[in-house]
Structure 1
């Protein structure tokens, strides 16, 4: 039975199919993680007043100025690639610009992860948060919490980085194949192939 050419042909076919499926899944995972990308996003964008339209006596002031439409906005930047972004990566020394479409009153807080990474400098120019050329090490995540006055309905981003894609963080998180998803994908492939080829293997072994 085990000398049967049909049996070993089936075994070889199963192994080849499994290796091909696993290699394809692994290649997809590696491509998704090695691409040079800087992620951006407004991970928090909340009003400090009642947005329901009902009258309220609550007001928010900054110094002596009453803010008509105060909001807290978290601006996130993440180096999603496996290589550092250096100051020389900024074409022509241009700054990275996040236009919040609302007057920026103040940068309330800023942070970076991992703690050993350097927090890039930042500057406010009207509705724009500007990040001059700086080092962003691989996998570094930077967050700026800003107070704005306005709706922030149409934020925009300008990225002068050379050889880096500027991508939406939420979209990346939804589409990225993490290791757990990769393992589950491979498991589904193995189970599916085993189920589809089981009748052929049984036929080769038992002659029916």
Structure 2
């Protein structure tokens, strides 16, 4: 074999291994991006929003007042929170880790639970009161469905006073304003997927072009 032929054979082998390396790197990048995007899409997501925060009419001098268990309330207030399964999948009761509920804590005693209205009447959300909070117990929540929960408080309340505690399996509970952040995460995953694909293809084209120019 002539030196030129040996050189060509060596170069061909080198380019082949470089192409294999690029393809392997591309495959790893694509799998990583796919896994990140798939995990983001599969995560269950519940949003909540304070849709009403109303001070109820109460004027003892006009014989108009609101009482609870015989005690007149000084500043009765009705607060309605809308919960929604904003994810792509139904939420099942086994996604409540250890059977623990989602707790919506108002920072003051919740006196009554006047209304719980589910948008999917065949699958009502199970809600109960406990101290300063109402609890969403393990429930089946259809995708894009939710419930409006109204509570009775006594005293001032601002949206920032609300604290939400949960231990969801592969899930999160966010204010509705933060739903946009979830969309951004998905877009980042898609961008990573596309970027890895384009970068790998460009590198592969460059190596092939270099090999062709040499011969």
For the aligned pair, the TM-score class normalised by the smaller chain equals 0.5 to 0.7
Structural mapping, 1:22-37, within 5 Å = 22-33=30-41
Rounded Cα–Cα distance in structure 2 between residues aligned with 1:147 and 1:138:
23
Q: List per-residue Cα deviations over 1:125-149 (Å, max 9, x = no partner).
A: 56422334x4325747433242555
User: Once the 2 structures are TM-superposed, how far is the Cα of residue 11 of structure 1 from its aligned partner?
Assistant: 2.5
- Shift in CA distance, 166/28, structure 1 to aligned 2, threshold 3 Å: closer
5+ residue gaps, structure 1, are 49-58
Q: Which residue among 142, 147, 159 is the counterpart of 2:146?
A: 142
Alignment coverage as a number of residue pairs? 188
Rounded Cα–Cα distance in structure 1 between residues aligned with 2:96 and 2:34:
32
TM-score (norm 1): 0.61
Q: Which has the higher helix share?
A: 2
Q: Which residue among 160, 164, 167 is the counterpart of 2:169?
A: 164
TM-score (norm 2): 0.59
Rounded Cα–Cα distance in structure 2 between residues aligned with 1:79 and 1:141:
8
2:25 paired residue number: 17
- Shift in CA distance, 33/191, structure 1 to aligned 2, threshold 3 Å: closer
1:186 paired residue number: 193
2:15 paired residue number: 7
1:64 paired residue number: 65
2:70 paired residue number: none
SS at match of 1:146: strand
Q: Which residue among 81, 85, 88 is the counterpart of 1:74?
A: 81
SS at match of 1:193: helix
How large is the RMSD of aligned CA atoms in angstroms?
A: 4.4
Q: Which residue among 197, 200, 204 is the counterpart of 2:207?
A: 200
